[in-house]
Amino acid sequence: MTRTRVKFCGMTRVADAVAAAELGVDAIGMVFTPRSRRCVAIAQAKVMREAVPPFVDVVALFMDDDPVYVQSVIEAVRPDLLQFHGSETVADCTRYGRRYLKAVAMGEGADAASALSAHPRASGLLLDGHAPGAVGGSGQRFDWSRMPRRHAQPLILAGGLSSENVGDAIAAARPWGVDVASGIESSPGVKDAAKMHAFMQAVRTADRKRDEA
Ligand SMILES: O=C(O)c1ccccc1N[C@@H]1O[C@H](COP(=O)(O)O)[C@@H](O)[C@H]1O
Protein backbone atom coordinates (compact mmCIF):
# COMPACT_ATOMS: atom_id res chain seq x y z
CA MET A 1 0.00 0.00 0.00
CA THR A 2 1.47 3.34 -1.05
CA ARG A 3 2.01 5.83 1.74
CA THR A 4 3.63 9.07 0.63
CA ARG A 5 5.31 10.62 3.66
CA VAL A 6 4.23 14.15 4.51
CA LYS A 7 6.09 17.00 6.18
CA PHE A 8 4.43 20.29 7.07
CA CYS A 9 7.13 22.94 7.35
CA GLY A 10 7.44 26.43 8.81
CA MET A 11 5.47 25.85 12.01
CA THR A 12 5.48 28.76 14.46
CA ARG A 13 2.35 28.03 16.55
CA VAL A 14 1.73 25.17 18.99
CA ALA A 15 -1.88 24.73 17.89
CA ASP A 16 -0.82 24.32 14.26
CA ALA A 17 1.79 21.70 15.16
CA VAL A 18 -0.73 19.73 17.24
CA ALA A 19 -3.36 19.96 14.49
CA ALA A 20 -0.84 18.72 11.90
CA ALA A 21 0.08 15.76 14.10
CA GLU A 22 -3.59 14.88 14.51
CA LEU A 23 -3.98 14.90 10.74
CA GLY A 24 -1.27 12.24 10.53
CA VAL A 25 1.75 14.07 9.21
CA ASP A 26 5.07 12.24 9.51
CA ALA A 27 7.12 15.32 10.28
CA ILE A 28 6.80 18.90 11.42
CA GLY A 29 9.38 21.44 10.30
CA MET A 30 10.56 24.51 12.16
CA VAL A 31 12.66 27.10 10.37
CA PHE A 32 15.61 28.52 12.30
CA THR A 33 17.43 30.49 9.66
CA PRO A 34 17.00 34.17 10.59
CA ARG A 35 16.67 34.98 6.88
CA SER A 36 13.23 33.35 6.76
CA ARG A 37 9.87 35.00 7.38
CA ARG A 38 9.03 31.83 9.32
CA CYS A 39 12.01 31.91 11.65
CA VAL A 40 10.91 30.71 15.08
CA ALA A 41 12.46 31.72 18.41
CA ILE A 42 14.19 28.92 20.29
CA ALA A 43 11.95 29.36 23.34
CA GLN A 44 8.81 28.98 21.23
CA ALA A 45 10.31 26.01 19.37
CA LYS A 46 10.93 24.23 22.68
CA VAL A 47 7.26 24.59 23.62
CA MET A 48 6.19 23.27 20.22
CA ARG A 49 8.63 20.39 20.44
CA GLU A 50 7.11 19.29 23.76
CA ALA A 51 3.61 19.42 22.25
CA VAL A 52 4.43 17.13 19.31
CA PRO A 53 3.50 13.50 20.07
CA PRO A 54 5.77 10.48 19.65
CA PHE A 55 6.13 9.02 16.14
CA VAL A 56 6.05 12.50 14.59
CA ASP A 57 9.53 13.77 13.68
CA VAL A 58 10.57 17.32 14.45
CA VAL A 59 12.83 18.75 11.73
CA ALA A 60 15.01 21.84 12.25
CA LEU A 61 15.71 23.79 9.05
CA PHE A 62 18.86 25.88 8.46
CA MET A 63 20.39 27.73 5.55
CA ASP A 64 24.14 28.41 5.73
CA ASP A 65 23.79 29.33 9.40
CA ASP A 66 26.55 29.75 11.99
CA PRO A 67 27.47 26.31 13.43
CA VAL A 68 27.42 27.72 16.97
CA TYR A 69 23.81 28.80 16.44
CA VAL A 70 22.88 25.44 14.85
CA GLN A 71 24.38 23.62 17.84
CA SER A 72 22.46 25.82 20.28
CA VAL A 73 19.20 24.96 18.51
CA ILE A 74 20.04 21.25 18.59
CA GLU A 75 20.73 21.33 22.33
CA ALA A 76 17.62 23.34 23.19
CA VAL A 77 15.05 21.84 20.81
CA ARG A 78 16.38 18.27 20.32
CA PRO A 79 15.13 17.87 16.74
CA ASP A 80 14.91 14.37 15.25
CA LEU A 81 16.38 15.54 11.96
CA LEU A 82 18.22 18.54 10.56
CA GLN A 83 17.40 20.02 7.14
CA PHE A 84 19.96 22.11 5.27
CA HIS A 85 18.83 24.46 2.52
CA GLY A 86 21.98 26.36 1.62
CA SER A 87 25.35 25.56 0.10
CA GLU A 88 26.37 23.31 3.00
CA THR A 89 28.96 20.64 2.19
CA VAL A 90 28.85 17.08 3.52
CA ALA A 91 31.28 18.16 6.26
CA ASP A 92 28.99 21.08 7.20
CA CYS A 93 25.98 18.77 7.43
CA THR A 94 27.64 15.90 9.31
CA ARG A 95 29.60 17.89 11.92
CA TYR A 96 26.67 17.67 14.39
CA GLY A 97 26.50 13.87 14.29
CA ARG A 98 22.78 14.05 13.49
CA ARG A 99 20.63 12.60 10.72
CA TYR A 100 19.86 15.18 8.09
CA LEU A 101 18.01 16.04 4.90
CA LYS A 102 19.73 18.09 2.22
CA ALA A 103 17.72 20.34 -0.06
CA VAL A 104 18.58 20.61 -3.74
CA ALA A 105 17.39 23.79 -5.46
CA MET A 106 15.90 22.79 -8.80
CA GLY A 107 16.54 26.08 -10.57
CA GLU A 108 16.84 26.38 -14.35
CA GLY A 109 19.71 24.20 -15.51
CA ALA A 110 20.31 22.58 -12.12
CA ASP A 111 21.83 19.14 -12.51
CA ALA A 112 19.75 17.02 -10.14
CA ALA A 113 21.84 13.88 -10.57
CA SER A 114 25.16 15.44 -9.53
CA ALA A 115 23.55 17.45 -6.73
CA LEU A 116 22.00 14.27 -5.34
CA SER A 117 25.21 12.27 -5.54
CA ALA A 118 27.05 15.03 -3.62
CA HIS A 119 25.29 14.04 -0.39
CA PRO A 120 25.57 10.26 0.02
CA ARG A 121 25.32 10.54 3.82
CA ALA A 122 22.00 12.39 3.88
CA SER A 123 19.01 10.43 5.22
CA GLY A 124 16.94 11.95 2.42
CA LEU A 125 17.16 14.55 -0.32
CA LEU A 126 14.59 17.25 -0.81
CA LEU A 127 14.13 18.61 -4.33
CA ASP A 128 12.75 22.11 -4.09
CA GLY A 129 11.58 24.81 -6.46
CA HIS A 130 13.91 27.76 -6.70
CA ALA A 131 12.83 31.38 -7.10
CA PRO A 132 15.85 33.56 -8.02
CA GLY A 133 16.54 36.01 -5.19
CA ALA A 134 14.10 34.37 -2.78
CA VAL A 135 15.27 32.67 0.41
CA GLY A 136 13.12 29.54 0.26
CA GLY A 137 9.63 28.43 1.16
CA SER A 138 8.37 30.83 -1.47
CA GLY A 139 5.83 28.60 -3.19
CA GLN A 140 7.96 28.14 -6.30
CA ARG A 141 7.41 24.81 -8.05
CA PHE A 142 9.62 23.07 -10.63
CA ASP A 143 8.97 20.72 -13.51
CA TRP A 144 8.18 17.45 -11.70
CA SER A 145 9.36 15.38 -14.68
CA ARG A 146 12.91 16.44 -13.68
CA MET A 147 12.60 14.42 -10.46
CA PRO A 148 14.72 11.25 -10.77
CA ARG A 149 12.61 8.07 -10.63
CA ARG A 150 15.15 6.10 -8.64
CA HIS A 151 17.77 7.06 -6.13
CA ALA A 152 19.64 5.38 -3.29
CA GLN A 153 18.11 7.70 -0.69
CA PRO A 154 14.48 8.73 -0.19
CA LEU A 155 13.52 11.68 -2.41
CA ILE A 156 11.17 14.34 -1.11
CA LEU A 157 9.32 16.67 -3.47
CA ALA A 158 8.81 20.30 -2.39
CA GLY A 159 8.10 23.70 -3.84
CA GLY A 160 4.75 25.27 -4.52
CA LEU A 161 2.66 22.27 -3.45
CA SER A 162 -0.95 22.68 -2.32
CA SER A 163 -4.06 20.53 -2.05
CA GLU A 164 -4.84 21.49 -5.66
CA ASN A 165 -1.65 20.15 -7.22
CA VAL A 166 -0.13 17.60 -4.82
CA GLY A 167 -2.14 14.75 -6.34
CA ASP A 168 -0.76 15.51 -9.81
CA ALA A 169 2.73 15.92 -8.34
CA ILE A 170 2.58 12.48 -6.70
CA ALA A 171 1.24 10.86 -9.88
CA ALA A 172 3.96 12.50 -11.99
CA ALA A 173 7.02 12.20 -9.76
CA ARG A 174 6.16 9.31 -7.39
CA PRO A 175 8.21 10.82 -4.56
CA TRP A 176 8.94 9.02 -1.30
CA GLY A 177 7.61 12.11 0.48
CA VAL A 178 6.26 15.61 0.01
CA ASP A 179 6.99 18.80 1.94
CA VAL A 180 4.90 21.96 2.02
CA ALA A 181 5.05 25.36 3.69
CA SER A 182 3.19 28.15 1.87
CA GLY A 183 0.46 25.95 0.38
CA ILE A 184 -1.07 25.29 3.82
CA GLU A 185 -0.85 28.86 5.15
CA SER A 186 -2.98 31.96 5.45
CA SER A 187 0.21 34.05 5.93
CA PRO A 188 3.90 33.10 6.42
CA GLY A 189 4.17 30.86 9.48
CA VAL A 190 0.43 30.86 10.17
CA LYS A 191 -1.12 27.57 9.11
CA ASP A 192 -4.69 27.24 7.89
CA ALA A 193 -6.56 24.25 9.38
CA ALA A 194 -8.75 23.73 6.30
CA LYS A 195 -5.74 23.87 3.93
CA MET A 196 -3.78 21.39 6.08
CA HIS A 197 -6.74 19.01 6.11
CA ALA A 198 -7.33 19.33 2.35
CA PHE A 199 -3.62 18.70 1.67
CA MET A 200 -3.60 15.45 3.66
CA GLN A 201 -6.81 14.30 1.97
CA ALA A 202 -5.30 14.99 -1.46
CA VAL A 203 -2.16 12.98 -0.60
CA ARG A 204 -4.16 9.99 0.60
CA THR A 205 -6.41 10.13 -2.48
CA ALA A 206 -3.32 10.17 -4.71
CA ASP A 207 -1.90 7.18 -2.80
CA ARG A 208 -5.12 5.21 -3.33
CA LYS A 209 -5.08 6.03 -7.05
CA ARG A 210 -1.50 4.79 -7.33
CA ASP A 211 -2.50 1.49 -5.71
CA GLU A 212 -5.51 1.09 -8.02
CA ALA A 213 -3.55 1.84 -11.21
O1 LIG B 1 9.91 28.00 4.81
C2 LIG B 1 10.84 28.82 4.77
O3 LIG B 1 10.71 29.96 5.19
C4 LIG B 1 12.15 28.40 4.19
C5 LIG B 1 13.24 29.27 4.30
C6 LIG B 1 14.45 28.93 3.77
C7 LIG B 1 14.62 27.72 3.13
C8 LIG B 1 13.54 26.85 3.00
C9 LIG B 1 12.31 27.17 3.52
N10 LIG B 1 11.21 26.32 3.43
C11 LIG B 1 11.21 25.09 2.72
O12 LIG B 1 10.92 25.34 1.36
C13 LIG B 1 10.24 24.24 0.80
C14 LIG B 1 9.08 24.63 -0.07
O15 LIG B 1 8.28 25.57 0.51
P16 LIG B 1 6.90 26.04 -0.20
O17 LIG B 1 5.91 24.94 0.04
O18 LIG B 1 7.20 26.23 -1.64
O19 LIG B 1 6.52 27.28 0.49
C20 LIG B 1 9.84 23.37 1.94
O21 LIG B 1 10.74 22.32 1.92
C22 LIG B 1 10.13 24.14 3.17
O23 LIG B 1 10.66 23.22 4.07
Q: What is the pLDDT of residues 40-75, one digit of tens each?
A: 999 999 999 999 999 999 999 999 999 999 999 999
Residue 65: give its domain's CATH number: 3.20.20.70
Pairing of strands 190-191, 185-187: antiparallel
Give the pLDDT of residue 192: 98
CA-nearest residue, atom 2 of ligand 1: 137
Measured from the Cα of 85, ligand 1's closest atom is 7
Is residue 192 annotated as part of the catalytic site, yes or no? no
Which residues lie closer than 8 Å to 13 by C-beta, 6 or more apart? 48, 189, 190, 191
Residue tagged active-site, from 39, 128, 143, 192: 128
Query: Percent of the chain at pLDDT above 70?
Result: 100
Give the residue with greater pLDDT, 148 vs 44.
44
Give the pLDDT of residue 150: 81
Is residue 9 annotated as part of the catalytic site, yes or no? yes
Burial of 27 per CB tally in 10 Å (0-12, 13-18, 19+)? buried
Burial of 166 per CB tally in 10 Å (0-12, 13-18, 19+)? buried
10 ligand 1 Cβ < 6 A: yes
Q: ipTM, 2 decimals? A: 0.97
Total number of domains in the chain: 1
Query: Percent of the chain at pLDDT above 90?
Result: 83
Name the pTM for this structure: 0.96
Residue-range definition of the domain harbouring residue 17: 5-212
